[in-house]
Amino acid sequence: MDLTDNVVIVTGSSSGIGEAVARRLAAAGARIVVNSASSVEAGERLAGELGDACYVQGDISDPATAQALVAAAQDRWGRLDGLVNNAAVTAEVPLADIDGVTADHWNRVLGVNVVGTFLVSQAALPLLRAAEDGWILNVTSIAGIRQTGSSLPYAVSKAAVDHLTTILAKHAGGGVRVNAVAPGLVATPWTKTWDQQKAGVAATAPLKRVATPDDIADACMGLIGTRYATGQTLLVDGGLGLVV
């Protein structure tokens, strides 16, 4: 895929899936707006390693962050071709612990994962509509499709983003493609202590391992390059959904 001179925002891109996708896009020639809510040093380091890139710190649940991300692309390169909505948070409450979930958990998780994803998409759409082939890719989760996940608010938020994907695909206008990739369990800094869950996936999934960030980046790049698909969620779970 040749993305020379294309400009792409990747939220939550200082580590894990977001970093892998940002690196892959940059290798294809894209200019990247790197983002993180708090990992400033890592974000600035990645932007420096990608060459023609910049870093914007900010929590996407803050409307000002959405505007700052789009302004960074506009001010530096005068265009925006793609958006990867990867930033997300969870609640530190096990999925089955319904009594442990509070209003604060819901507000925080939905605020970032759903409202934040929408706000950045909304801010980006005018430039994406003006692009020759504008697109949005949302990183969701198997938790939005099946009854699994790191917490109840997280799982519900990812289901909401899957539905947001279809609605934006239908109504974004300007020929903007909107799709999603839904990973299964991925070995990232977020899941570094999840040894039991990783062992369970490796023992159960047909492909006998958990995903790597590069596995998800493969799927993202494939869907980004599929120019006649929109409103789709691609499940990338090693076949786990076939048996669980």
Sorted by where each begins, the domain ranges of the chain are: 7-242
Report the alpha-carbon distance of residue 91 to residue 46 in Å, rounded.
27
The confidence score (pLDDT) of residue 185 equals 87
Helices (H) then strands (E): counts for the chain = 8, 7
Catalytic (active site) residue 55: no
The superfamily in CATH containing domain 7-242 is NAD(P)-binding Rossmann-like Domain (3.40.50.720)
The confidence score (pLDDT) of residue 139 equals 98
In this structure, are residues 13 and 69 in contact, taking their beta carbons and an 8 Å threshold?
no
∠ Cα 208 214 217 (to 5°): 115
Residue 174 structure tokens: 């300007």
The confidence score (pLDDT) of residue 195 equals 85
Query: Model-level pTM?
Result: 0.95
pLDDT at 194 over 90: no
Strand positions, DSSP E, 16-118:
31-36, 53-57, 82-85
The confidence score (pLDDT) of residue 83 equals 98
Report the alpha-carbon distance of residue 201 to residue 196 in Å, rounded.
9
Report the alpha-carbon distance of residue 138 to residue 161 in Å, rounded.
8
Tens digits of residue pLDDT in 122-173: 999 999 999 999 999 999 999 999 888 889 999 999 999 999 999 999 999 9
Over residues 221-233, mean pLDDT = 97
Tens digits of residue pLDDT in 165-175: 999 999 999 99
Residue 51: pLDDT band (50, 70, 90) is: confident
Q: Out of 154, 169, 219, 224, which one is annotated catalytic?
A: 154
Q: Which of 4-8, 41-45, 62-66, 239-243 has the lowest mean pLDDT?
A: 239-243
Over residues 68-85, mean pLDDT = 98
Tens digits of residue pLDDT in 200-222: 888 888 999 988 999 999 999 99
pLDDT at 244 over 70: no
